[in-house]
A = this chain, B = another copy of it.
Amino acid sequence: MTAQAAGVSVAVSTVIFALRPSPHDGRMTVWLPLVRRIREPFDGRWALPGGPLEADEDLAASAARTLAETTLLTPQYLEQLYAFGNTDRSPGERVVSIVYWALVRSDEADVAVETENVRWFDADSVPELAFDHNLIVEYALWRLRNKLEYSHIASAFLGDTFTLSELREVHEAVLQKPLDPANFRRQIESSGQVVPTEHLKTGGRHRPARLYRYNTAEPDPSNGPLGTRQPSAPKDAS
């Protein structure tokens, strides 16, 4: 750990998922913002927001900074996803990319407006990306779908309280399949993962519905001794 590893550089990139309606049929699907590269390698290709790690910058802070610089997005917290470091992932250089990810609500996502070099893509049908970023997106989607089963991850799309219909719609959007409302309600209630609040959601075209929240008596497996890494928002983007 003392010898300097020659010729290896470190980058930090970020996968941001939000739920948005499909332009084809209006159904909610998982989307992510990508940034067009304006230099080699892969000039002109779409890529995850990111950049080189600065020597005086923590990993999550680097992820937050490059994300805000390119997309204006400032998620409440970023979680580390995986370090991608195969020797052949970037032509002519050795780069280890530490990838962070976050889920954001639609209203948070709206700050990332589309420009010539920033665009939102349906996560299940991204074009051929720079580097190994297709594999990274595929892995992040797999983790999202997997983690939905055993963590409170859906609340990142929803906020602290939500109706069971809203929670089911998130599950349907992430898993990309319709779920029977009565079965979903029964399963989620018997799991003890969510608890009813004293409040109803009113207004809109539906009748008032009970608001639920995640049962915080159950520890969220996504935390642990590392705590929640909450990067401070970069000054020029807050």
Contacts and interface: CB of A to CB of B under 8 A. Distances in A.
Interface of A: 1-11, 13, 39-41, 47, 50-59, 80, 82-83, 85-87, 90, 93-98, 131, 135, 138-139, 142-143, 146, 150, 221, 224-226
A85 B97 contact: no
Q: Give this chain's copy count.
A: 2
Contact of A57 (B3, B87, B142, B221): B87
A41 B2 contact: yes
Can you list the 7 inter-chain pairs with the closest CB atoms, starting with the nearest? A7-B55, A5-B52, A59-B85, A1-B11, A83-B83, A142-B224, A5-B9
Contacts of A94: 55-56
Given A139-B226, A225-B135, A2 B57 contact: no
Contact of A224 (B58, B98, B146, B226): B146
Q: Find the residue from A6, A10, A53, A90 having the highest chain B CB count within 10 A.
A: A10
Given A10-B96, A85-B53, A98-B96, A146 B221 contact: yes
